[in-house]
Amino acid sequence: MKIIVASFPKTGTKSLNAALTILGYRVYDFLEHAYYHNKEWLEILSKGCREQTVEMFRKMYKDIDVVLDLPACYFWEEILEAFPEAKIVLTLRAKEDYYRSAQKQVEEINADWRYRLMNTVTPTGRKISSVVTQALPVVFGFKPDYRWSKIFVNETVQKLRFRQHTSHVLKHAPPEKLLVFHLKDGWGPLCDFLGLEEPNTEFPRKNRNGTAIAEFRKENKIMMQMVKEFKVLTYISLVTVLLFFLFLM
């Protein structure tokens, strides 16, 4: 483990993921956490004690360079205890901009019935949704059934949790290990902090206007696996219905 991104989602973490990937790091984002370490995260979120959690993190992420997004960002201190040589990156954003972006993401999910259905009927989707269902109450204080019902977020609580988390990181992260990063500053501060040369490419911008799910369908192999499973299940269902009606005739 080389880098712990302690930032809450909707603070540029998808852009930072793309940037760190360009720099050659192996990054685990939310989908990787929920898919590859599903059992471990469900245990940590439901009943893990600190000592046990730290030891689990050592095993889970020993071959991974970077962790970011939920649920890892919320457990940045325990992950740092497991990997004391790791550096910490915190992306900052005004709380009003953060909430507007989070609300836009919620609207995207609420409008995407296909995505919610995939999270219910596919094996990969059920893995992902099981971690979401456990993580959101722990981090944000609400428990959605987003597979069928629409998500409604408490604005006051959401902003409060965001402000508390950001303040906690700024107060407790070792200053010599921490980079407070603004995406608008581009490669310079990030590469200086990591001791790397700046790549000859534009700093990436991802998930603009809440497009993460659409982007994941095209780029992320876990989401692509979910889509593939959904297509197979849809085909099997259609064939089954057709055979049923042919049998009745």
**Looking at 70-84, 116-130, 185-199, 209-223, which range is the least confident one?**
209-223
**Looking at 55-69, 168-182, 196-210, 221-235, which range is the least confident one?**
196-210
Average pLDDT of the chain is 88
Residue 29 has pLDDT above 60, yes or no: yes
Q: Which residues contact 170 (CB under 8 A, 6 or more apart)?
A: 90, 178, 180
Where residue 211 falls among pLDDT bands split at 50, 70, 90? Answer: low
Where residue 144 falls among pLDDT bands split at 50, 70, 90? Answer: low
pLDDT digits (tens, 9 = 90+) for 128-139: 989 988 888 888
Residue 73 has pLDDT above 60, yes or no: yes
Residue 40 has pLDDT above 70, yes or no: yes
pLDDT digits (tens, 9 = 90+) for 76-98: 999 999 999 999 999 988 888 88
In CATH, what number does 3-248 get? Answer: 3.40.50.300
CA angle 241, 214, 191 (to 5 degrees): 150
Q: What is the pLDDT of residue 102?
A: 81
User: CB atoms < 10 A from the CB of 51, how many?
Assistant: 10
Kindly provide the b/e burial profile for residues 63-96, where b requires at least 16 CB atoms within 10 angstroms of the residue's own CB.
Answer: ebbbbbbbbbbbbbbbbbbbbeebbbbbbebeee
Q: Which residues contact 114 (CB under 8 A, 6 or more apart)?
A: 230
Question: 3-class secondary structure for the chain?
Answer: CCEEECCCCCCCHHHHHHHHHHCCCCEECHHHHHHHCHHHHHHHHHHCCHHHHHHHHHHHCCCCCEECCCCHHHHHHHHHHHCCCCEEEEECCCHHHHHHHHHHHHHHHHHCHHHHHHHHHCHHHHHHHHHHHHHHHHHHCCCCCCCCCCCCCCHHHHHHHHHHHHHHHHHHCCHHHEEEECHHHCHHHHHHHHCCCCCCCCCCCCCCCCCHHHHHHHHCHHHHHHHHHHHHHHHHHHHHHHHHHHHHC
Q: Which residues contact 168 (CB under 8 A, 6 or more apart)?
A: none
pLDDT digits (tens, 9 = 90+) for 189-207: 999 999 999 999 999 988 7
Q: What is the pLDDT of residue 180?
A: 97
* Crossing angle of the two packed helices 221-248 and 212-219, in degrees rounded to 10: 90
Strands 87-91, 3-5: parallel, antiparallel or unpaired by DSSP?
parallel
Structural domain spans, the chain? 3-248
